[in-house]
Structure 1
Amino acid sequence: MCLSRIQSLRLVAVLEDCSHQLEILGHILAMRIRRERPAQEKAKLRKLTRDCEYISQLMSKLHLELEEKQCFSSLLQAVEEVEQRRRDTNMKREEMKQVDKRRQTLLKQQEELQQKTLKLQVIHHEANKKDHLLKMRSKENIKENDTGLQLRKIQSETSQAEALLEGQLELLKKQLKEEVRVHEESQKFLLKQHEELQQLLHELQKHTEQMVQEKSKQLHNMCFKKDLNLDRLEDMKMKFKEMEQMVMEDREEQEKLYQQQARIRAATKLQAWWRGCIVRRGLCGFKKAEKGKKGNKKERRKKKK
């Protein structure tokens, strides 16, 4: 359905006013939800906020449609969708009711079946008791008729069992005799082994005593040798210390001699260096003295001649 331009503009203005009011209402609901309230009241407020959001979306679509096409088909479509949802919800409710009714009927049927099964079990139990009684009576009658035959069978079986037992008794006697013979032979054999082992033990004891005596002698000799070696070791240690002391003294004397020789060498080198310095610098006094010394030596030689 199409509208004129003026009608559409009027509706747009109304829708804008309604959208503003819905926004204000949404803010108010949000503030109330944030506050501490009971759970049921919060659920109702949240449902109202969802409804407001849905209506605002529809109004925005309708606003655009009125501005562009000058019609409100989206509103009609939304109304149809809402009605369809209501129908669906009603259908679901009816289906749920039917399901509940079926469930109740099934429960009733189950209860009836349970009662019937209990009755059948009671009847079956009674029938089993009757059958058992009949069987017991029939067995008693059969036993009364067959007692004579059973006695004869028992007598024959007992005679056969006695014969078997006598045969088994004879076999056991033979086995007992054989076991006694084997026991005597094994006892004799064990006695012989015991005597042989006693002799061997006596010989081993003698041998061990001899070995112990020999080892004790060897140990005594080893201890004596050990003492001698220790004495020798002490003597060697003393001699080694004396030799070491002598070596140390020799080293000290050699070091002293080496130091004296080094000092003499250093003094001679120093004197030679000093004489060289004097000669190079031309100090005559030293030369004249040397010449005088040489002349004196020659005169002395002449006098000796």
Structure 2
Amino acid sequence: MEFHAEDENCSVAVNSLESIYLVTVLCDCVHQLAIIGHIMPVSLEGRPREKQIMNEELEDLLSQQQQIEGQFKKAIENKQELKSKNKTSQSLAKADEEIHSIGKKLGNKTLQFVRSVEQNPLAIDNIIKIDKDRLFVQQVMEDTVSELTQKLTYTCLMKSVNESKKRKATLQQTICKEQSGRQRIKELNKSLCEIQKDKEKESQNRNEMIAYLKDQVQEMEAKTIMESKYVNKCAEVGIAQTIKQRTLLEENHRNEINSLDKDVDVETRVNAEIMQFLGKKHKHLVSKLDFWMEKHEKDVEAKQLEVDQLKASKNSDWERLLDLTRKYKEFEEVVVEDRIQKEIQRRKLEEEEMQLRASIKIQCWWRGVMVRKGFGSYRKKKGKKSKKGKKGKKSKK
């Protein structure tokens, strides 16, 4: 097969045998596409059983999806059981492979389900698009077959492919331009709305400022009028208030003078009564003082007797305490000596027991050495060995 291509004008030449192969394959494809065109279903959109057909297809897909999910869950449970039973690595690897394959099936089924939900297979637009694509491919293959039979080239196929690529590129460019234009329009509309909002806010702020200044002017005018009226009224009220205060002060002074005269009379009478009361109280207190002095002397004598008795009892208790401390020291010395003697005896018994254990261990070791080495009474006798050997041979025979 030889290729000769220069920019867009490209000519591809093939051998006669290769052209026969290609023609047979393309003719088969053309016949299959024609058969597909004849057996294409008519759109079921608008018919009474449209929803029923869609529901049946979706139910089939859901049932398949649920089956695969059940298989996936069972595989995971099997793997966990194998881990709990501490199986070999080969069984775990098989379980991992099974989970991996079921996961792939589940992903493919999920993708198929999503596509079937997104695209309605009963819509007429999908069927028309499929029919157009089929006719285009069929026409291109027929042209290629005719060119191969006549010129042994398939330039028309390459041209159609290049043209479809160009159309796709131009369509993509127009889409990109349209998207950029829409984006630019959105940005301009957004900036225009922002400018309008700013201007509206600015005008609103200015109107508010003008109204605020007008209110301030009116308030100032009303305030000056009110202040002038208030000052005049304050002056008049101040004069009347001072006159009234003076009259009230004169009346208060007169009342105070009268009350002071009455208080003086009351104080003199109260002073005389207090002096009389204090004289009586003084006599009563002098008599009480004499009584309490006599009682004090008697109580002091009684307490002195109690103190003397307590001192005597204290001395006797002190002597008894000294005697008891002496006896306690003697008993303590006896107890300490007894404890020392018991400790000495306990240590002697421990030493004797340790020596006994050591001697027993040494004797056991020496007996083991004598048995192993055959010393003393444990020496092996030759006659007994020979007899035992003969008996063993007889039993073997």
> If the length of structure 1 is used for normalisation, what is the TM-score?
0.49
Larger RCO of the pair (alpha carbons < 8 Å, separation 6+): 2
Structure having the larger proportion of residues in helix:
1
- Bigger radius of gyration, 1 or 2? 1
> If the length of structure 2 is used for normalisation, what is the TM-score?
0.39
